Chains A and B, each alone.
Chain A
């Protein structure tokens, strides 16, 4: 680009601007690298003591005896995030298609507005709503009746259901799904709207119905953006802290029951960081942060790769 700039156009202002861009841009990169380095350095103790994979896959988290393993939290994070994405993806896509393709302009505006509003609700507010409304509702209407039904018919099966307090994996997953709907929707909507008019007109011209236009011309063209949006929402679900910590029940044991409590990587950090007295405990929390950083990095790279792979130019792959 710079080579193409005419010589007389290269003024001091350009150079200053370029310098400013370089410094601000690179400082973000430097901060990200520094964060990873700091996390890795502060997490050195548990990682060297239990091994990189030993710490990752250790199933006990016992600050009293100094046994630390991240697996219950890794599992809790992956289960809630994957389930939240699975739950929210189709409704979100449907909402995006409705807004971008079917709804009249006035309705689309209202839908967009409400979806954006949903994205703007602070997660701690959703957490409070979960505690005051959703958790008691699910407990009284779903968990408790199911639990009692099972207890009556097959008492030996009650163990894997877990005590129905209302706080646990399912409740947290539902709120998490609600939280990421707006992200998936917004990105999918934009991807669909960016599909060129010619693409649609060509499909219409071939005699396609409205559904066929959508299926054959629009969605394949937009799938890169849709998928990348879903993966980014997944990344957000991974890191979501407050609402999950308020609703998941916070148990450091492996999440082996359906209604029972669990914990995620961000939730254990936010819960235990303040009063971690032993240095190994603190370092283990840093280690969880380090792994979360790595997982988020992988998710983001995956999103970039998917977007490139599924870009319109590669439609035929």
Chain B
């Protein structure tokens, strides 16, 4: 709340200078999907209403990635948001429904940190992929295991059972974490795999980021995974992770953004876990907005102006909107992703006629 207030104040100055060139059409935009980016999108919506002097109102329903994808494919929302990109089947469904592409547009990045509660251990215990896979597979059962000790010379690890805590609810955080484990451990990939919900070999499940943080907070010997912001807010110790380049990385907004600053495929449907970037934090992933190429085929749109305003809002999110990410503890999009996004938005059409290019030009030439 306080942060939103600060942002608004900061914005009051910005609005005066960066006022939108063209007159805004009145429009209500509706989006739905993942709960992780909901605070960020709510702030964007708030600020954007001020930027457009109340003309454009964005409503976002935080109903979960699965619901966001379903509503997007059912064409009941103007844009969706998800922590898992559309799979081939869903892309085919979208193509069948609209005759065009469904764009996956990264809007921010999620970082997953290893949280633990062990008496005597502060933030900064070092893990690597193999040790983490061992712990979450239930093969590595004591805190003073020599494989963990080898990574942490000089740290006094207690002789204590490791209690694994995982998410009980399906979650994009779980998707990123299990994707990471799958990419660093063939054992994990074979026995468990990756997804928003998986068949955990061991451990206790708690609901939501706050549930995992709470359970770890009041149970000694536990280890789990959280968004960075929950670890810092709840004052829970979290670990550093050895990345693909062999560097020990402290999780931070900067190292998360760095993880995404790699060569991306054109459709951005990629997991950036175990990023090759030397400074990249290895357990991170994109959160995407979903938008149809053929906006007129989306039954949720009632007018061309509404479609144009949606594109304009998303283009603003990718560019000026990114200024607000770090204030809210979200990582900024790397430039590579911004460029791909704008290239995609520039191709949006209304009844075959391109409407995206002019809008995107308005943001890139400013």
Residues of A within 8 A of B (CB): 60-65, 131-132, 135-136, 139, 163, 165-168, 245-246, 249-253, 261, 263, 267, 270-272, 274-277, 281-282
User: Which residue of the partner chain A has the closest CB to B138?
Assistant: A163
> Could you tell me if A62 and B199 are in contact, using CB atoms closer than 8 angstroms?
yes
The residue that A245 contacts in the complex, of B168, B192, B215, with Cβ under 8 A, is B168
Chain B residues with CB below 8 A from A276, complex form: 66, 170, 196-197
User: B196 touching A275 by the CB < 8 A rule?
Assistant: yes
B205 CB-CB contact with A under 8 Å: yes
Q: In the complex, which residues 275-316 of chain B have their Cβ closer than 8 Å to any Cβ of chain A?
A: none
- Residues from chain B with a CB closer than 8 A to the CB of A139 are 219
**What 5 pairs between A and B have smallest CB-CB spacing?**
A250-B205, A275-B170, A250-B168, A274-B64, A64-B193
Q: Are B66 and A274 in contact (CB under 8 A)?
A: yes
Instruction: Give the chain A neighbours of B170 by CB distance below 8 A.
Output: 63, 271-272, 274-277, 281
* Interface pair A275/B204, CB less than 8 Å apart: no
- Tell me the chain B residues, 226-262 only, with Cβ under 8 Å from chain A: none
Contact with A along B191-207 (1 / 0, CB 8 A): 01111111110111111
The residue of chain B having its C-beta at the shortest distance from the C-beta of A61 within the complex is B199
In the complex, what residues of A have CB within 8 A of residue B222's CB?
Answer: 165
Q: Is B205 in contact with A251, judged by CB distance below 8 angstroms?
A: yes
Q: Are B200 and A251 in contact (CB under 8 A)?
A: yes
How far in angstroms is the closest Cβ of chain B from A24? 32
Q: How far does the alpha carbon of A276 sit from the alpha carbon of B171 in the complex, in Å?
A: 9
Please tell me if the beta carbons of B218 and A271 are within 8 angstroms of each other in the complex. no
Cβ B168 vs Cβ A275 within 8 A: no
- Residues B161-213 near A (CB distance < 8 A): 161, 163, 165, 168-172, 192-200, 202-207, 211
Contacting residues, chain A, for B172 (C-beta < 8 A): 275
Q: Is the CB of A136 within 8 A of B218?
A: yes
Which residue of the partner chain, among B67, B163, B169, B219, contacts A272 with CB atoms under 8 Å?
B169
Nearest CB in chain B to that of A158: its residue: B161
Q: Does B214 sit within 8 A of A, measured CB to CB?
A: yes
Q: Is the interface of A mostly helix, strand, loop or mixed?
A: loop
Q: Does B69 contact A (CB under 8 A)?
A: yes
A275 engages B65 (CB within 8 Å): yes
Say whether B200 contacts A166, CB under 8 Å: no
- By size class, the interface of chain B is 35 or more
Taking CB as reference atom, which chain B residue is nearest A147? B161
**7 pairs across A/B with beta carbons < 8 Å?**
A63-B198, A136-B219, A163-B202, A271-B168, A275-B172, A276-B66, A277-B196
Provide the bound-state CA to CA distance between A127 and B204, in Å.
16
- Distance in angstroms between the alpha carbons of A272 and B67 in the assembled complex: 12
Identify the interface centre among B35, B66, B215: most chain A CB within 10 Å of its CB.
Answer: B66
With A261-B203, A274-B63, A277-B69 in contact, is A64–B194 under 8 Å at CB? yes
Name which residue of chain B comes closest to A139, CB basis. B219
A249 to nearest B CB, angstroms? 4
Asked whether, in the complex, the Cβ of A167 is within 8 Å of the Cβ of B192, the reply is no
Of chain B, the residue at the smallest CB distance from A267 is B168
Distance in angstroms from A287 CB to nearest chain B CB is 15
Given the complex, which residues of A lie within 8 Å of B64, measured CB to CB?
Answer: 274-275
Tell me, in angstroms, the Cα distance from A271 to B198 when the chains sit together.
13
Residues in B with CB closer than 8 Å to A282 are 66
A64 touching B205 in the complex, CB below 8 Å, given contacts A166-B219, A245-B168, A277-B69: no
A275 and B197 contacting across the interface, CB-CB below 8 Å:
yes
Smallest CB gap from A60: residue in B: B199
**Chain A residue with minimal CB distance to B204?**
A249
Inter-subunit contact B205/A131 (CB<8 Å) = no
Determine the chain A residues whose CB is within 8 A of the CB of B168 once the complex forms.
245, 250, 263, 267, 271-272
A253 partner, pick from B171, B194, B199, beta carbons under 8 A:
B199
What chain B residues lie within 8 Å of A281 (beta carbons)?
170, 197
Please measure, in the bound complex, the distance between the C-alpha atom of A277 and the C-alpha atom of B288, giving whole angstroms: 14
B112 within 8 A of A: no
Given A131-B218, A272-B170, A277-B66, are A261 and B204 neighbors across the interface (CB < 8 Å)?
A: yes
Chain A residue with Cβ nearest B174: A275
- Min CB–CB distance B158 → chain A (angstroms): 14
Which of chain B's residues have a CB closer than 8 A to the CB of A163?
161, 163, 202, 204
| Chain B contacts for A271, CB-based, 8 A | 168-170, 205, 207
Q: Is B84 interfacial (CB 8 A cutoff)? A: yes
Task: Point out the residue from A132, A245, A250, A252 that lies within 8 Å of B199, measured CB to CB.
Answer: A252
User: Which residues of chain B are near A249, meaning CB under 8 Å?
Assistant: 204-205
